[in-house]
Amino acid sequence: MKEELNELYAELDAVKSSTLEYLPEYGYSPKEEIIQLIEEDIHELEEELEGISFDYEEDELEEERRLLCQSQGLSRGC
């Protein structure tokens, strides 16, 4: 999730630094609309991250996920 958040911040910076009013990579949507949508996504993701219990370290959590998938006969990409 942190990686996704970092990607959103990078995307937001790229959109803000664009000199175009309508962005072709977003279907020629207005720049301000795209900024607003990205900021909403960032806000939602930050709220979700705040709601996660940090009883586990990131490595421990990943190990738990891996073991759960393994016990169910699934790949880690589950």
Rounded Cα distance, 8 and 4, in Å: 6
Is 41 within 8 Å of 15 (Cβ atoms)?
A: no
Count, in order, helices (H) and strands (E) of the chain.
Answer: 3, 2
pLDDT of residue 73: 85
pLDDT tens per residue across all 78 residues of the chain: 789 999 999 999 999 999 999 999 999 999 999 999 999 999 999 888 877 656 667 788 888 888 888 888 887 765
Cα–Cα distance measured from residue 30 to residue 75, given in angstroms and rounded to the nearest whole number: 41
Can you tell me which residue has the tokens 């990607």?
7
Query: What confidence score (pLDDT) does residue 53 get?
Result: 55
Structure tokens at 22: 């309508």
Query: What pTM did the predictor assign?
Result: 0.64
